[in-house]
Amino acid sequence: MGGKNSRVSKKTQNSSKKLEVSVNNQYSPTVASEADCKLREQPENRSLEKKTPDFMKVCERLFQDGEVLRERMHAAIRENQERISNLKEIKAKAEKDETSSDEAADQEEETSPTKSNVERNCALEAEDLEQDQEQDQEQDQEQDQEQDLEQDQEQDLEQDQEQNQEQNQEQDQEHHQEQDQEQDQEQDQEQDQEQDQEQDMDSKILYFSVNGRPEQAEFPVDCAPQDLKDLFRCAAEAGPHDILKLYNPKGNIINISPSLEPNTPSSCYKLEVVAADYNNEPLGAELAEVMGFDLSSMEKRLQGLEKRILTEGGETPAVVYEMKKQVDSFREKLESVEHLSWLGLFKDLSEGTHKPSPFYHKRALRKTREECDHVRDKFIQMSSLEVSEEVRQYLKTPTFDNWQWEDAEIMVLLQLMYTDLDFITTFNIEPEVLREFLFEVYRRYNHIPFHNFKHCFCVTQMMYGLIWLTDLRSRMDSVDLLIMLTSAVCHDLDHTGYNNAYQINARTELALRYNDISPLENHHCAVAFEILEKTECNIFRNVPSEQYKRIREGIIKCILATDMSRHNEILVKFKSLLPTFDFSSKDHRDVLMMILIKVSDISNEARPMEVAEPWLDCLLQEFYNQSDVEKLEGLPVTPFMDRDKVTKPSSQTGFIRFVLLPLFMELANLFPCLELHIIDPVRKALGYYTEMEKALERAKSCSSSADPQGAPEAPKADCK
């Protein structure tokens, strides 16, 4: 038994040694060092990630090696567990084989140390195995953590790469967009340059002076000669039958035709209106047209009567001689041009002895106190009434008909404009102060045919409509809008019915006071601020002083801009700003405000014909009144106001073609929406007056074809 136990013990020891050797071999330093080396090399490999393009492949190999090591460690742990169970079975068998004999006891005593050693060795081996298992588990955890860390780093790297790619894509897109924008800008510039070149090639610009006033005219190269002459007549404010002369810088007379060579401001031409042409236009035809009196026909009939009397009676009665003498005298007076020319051909008897005419040389008819009180009471009663929404919207359109409204109702509509533009709240305007201001404005407009209170309302209403049509409330601040509306209300205050040319030629008090520089417009400004000086009328009394200074400056600029002698100056400046117009620039806004009040001031032809044509009749009546006074006083007669030369269609065709349309079209370049609202109606008006002018020409040709006895021929088809 002792031998047997000894063999068992030896066998157990050998198994333990083998197990230890196997475990030690399985987890030898060499293997561990190789694994550690691989793990230590991983950071270096990670550092190479950014240096070598095969970083991903290295990471995959490391991951595969880690998996292999993990499988080996798990296999070794399973083998150790199996060996421990075998040792326990061997120990159990050894205990069963022990006998109760003395020898066994002695042997047991002898071998007890061996058993205890075996047990200790087994326990130590079990502890070593447990420690190895714990170490393996720790290593597995470390490897798992390292792998997780590597995966996180890989994910971070991938995310960084994706972000970099996205950023690069965004940068590329931005770069492409910038390139596209630059290309578009270059193309636009090229197109603009081409258009400018085409325009330069298709049009000419001539610089000339009229009475020392510089002017410039732009016209297409294929312009008709008559259209070009009409353009020069419009610039010279000449009538359709006046004789124009154009001089080159050398003083030689040159022909007015489209073949004129373009020049520069330093070598401008000189344009003069020398006299009326009565050779090409029979005086009798003009009288027949204007006065319904055909002098030529009467003369022919008189000659026929004289011939008949001589044939039948042998001598001419005295009454016939007297009639002939009167006719000759009448013709002589009509054809005399000693006071009809306005460039010095008349005999100026007033030179050196003329005294300045008193203020209001021809006093305008003022409103009576009774009339003002009646309108005021009616206005106060109506001022608190609510205006319907339909009228509010109609008031914002250029088609508004002023002829349907009385003066008190017009003041209510003006009050509504200040309310709907929110001026009452923004500038703290008391309603009673606004009413006093509007009534005083009404009182200071005179009873004259055109420049009266209704004209003031029409200009203000058009300005109000343009503010809404072009959405200026979102482009300009409330101060600018207040300036424009108030300027329109006050722009013709206390107009006398006689223009600046008359004021200067008659040497009125206004001309002397303002040194011949826009006397009427300066007077309108002065009266406006005279009204605002009254506390009960000062709608600006609650605004800060700096803001009031800006308002006053703006109103003065706008009202002075209505002087038509500054028309070309303002229009050229506006055209130069259009390509780079900036609403944030005060200078740009100031020019736009001047253009808007100019458009509003001459906007009647943008209204329906039934509204616009009565205004033309009123304007011509005011013009004719002035020309009559100029003739009576021996003053130069303004050609476009002379009732003997101007007709309704002739006065409008040139004005619309060369003044109105160019101004409106430049404004439409900034606000394209105005093409439909104001330009199309103006073109229709031009067509209407052009046809009227042709009809009058046909009527003249038919009238001149009457027979010598005064019996007219049968009308021709084209005379209808």
The catalytic residue positions are: 451
Cα dihedral 478, 482, 484, 485 in deg (nearest 10): 130
Look-up of token digits 């924008």:
181
Angstrom distances, CA of residue 217 to CA of 204, 232, 264, 563, 626 = 8, 8, 12, 19, 28
Q: According to the 3-state scheme, what is the secondary structure of 14-71?
A: HHHHHHHHHHHHHCCHHHHHHHHHHHHHHHHHHHCCCCCCCHHHHHHHHHHHHHHHHH
Q: Helix 661-670 crosses helix 586-601 at what angle (to 10 degrees)?
A: 140
Q: What is the DSSP letter of 607?
A: S
Contact of 402 with 458, CB cutoff 8 Å: yes
Residue 455 labelled as part of a binding site: yes
Q: Kindly state the tokens that stand for 690.
A: 């052009």
Pair 541, 535: CB distance under 8 Å: yes
Q: Which residues have C-beta within 8 Å of that of residue 325, sequence separation ≥ 6?
A: none
Q: Which of 622, 614, 637 is nearest to 446 (CA)?
A: 622
CA-CA-CA-CA dihedral for 621, 625, 626, 630, to nearest 10: 150
Is 491 among the annotated ligand-binding positions?
A: yes
Full DSSP string of 254-285: E--STTPPP--GGG-EEEEEEEE--SSS-HHH
Does an H or E element contain 179, and which?
Answer: helix 102-202
Residue type, 160: D
Q: What are phi and psi of 538, to 5 degrees?
A: -80, 95
273-304 in b/e form (b: 16+ CB < 10 A) is: bbebeeeeebebbbbbeeeeebbbbbbbeeee
- Is 652 known to sit in a ligand binding site? yes
Q: Does the annotation list 601 as a binding residue?
A: yes
What three-state secondary structure class fits 534? coil
Tell whether residue 454 is among the known ligand binding residues: yes
CB distance 559 to 593 below 8 Å: no
Distinct helix (H) and strand (E) counts, the chain: 26, 5
Pair of tokens at residue 662: 């160019």
646 residue type, one letter: V
How are beta strands 269-276 and 203-210 bridged, if at all?
parallel
Let me know: does 653 contact 230? Beta carbons within 8 Å: yes
* Residue that has been written with the tokens 């020319």 in this structure: 341
Return d(Cα 408, Cα 496) in angstroms, integer: 22
* Residue 575 zone, left/alpha/beta (φ > 0; ψ -120 to 50; rest): alpha
How many CB atoms within 10 Å of residue 309?
Answer: 14
Ligand-binding annotation for 199, yes or no, is no
Q: Is the Cβ–Cβ distance between 519 and 471 less than 8 Å? A: no
Q: Of the candidates 429, 706, 119, 142, which has an alpha carbon nearest to the alpha carbon of residue 127? A: 119
Read off the DSSP letter of residue 580.
Answer: G
SS3 of residue 252 by DSSP: coil
DSSP 360: S
d(CA 362, CA 264): 42
* Residues annotated within a binding site for Zn(2+): 455, 491-492, 601
* Residues annotated within a binding site: 451-455, 491-492, 601, 652
* Residues annotated within a binding site for AMP: 451-455, 492, 601, 652
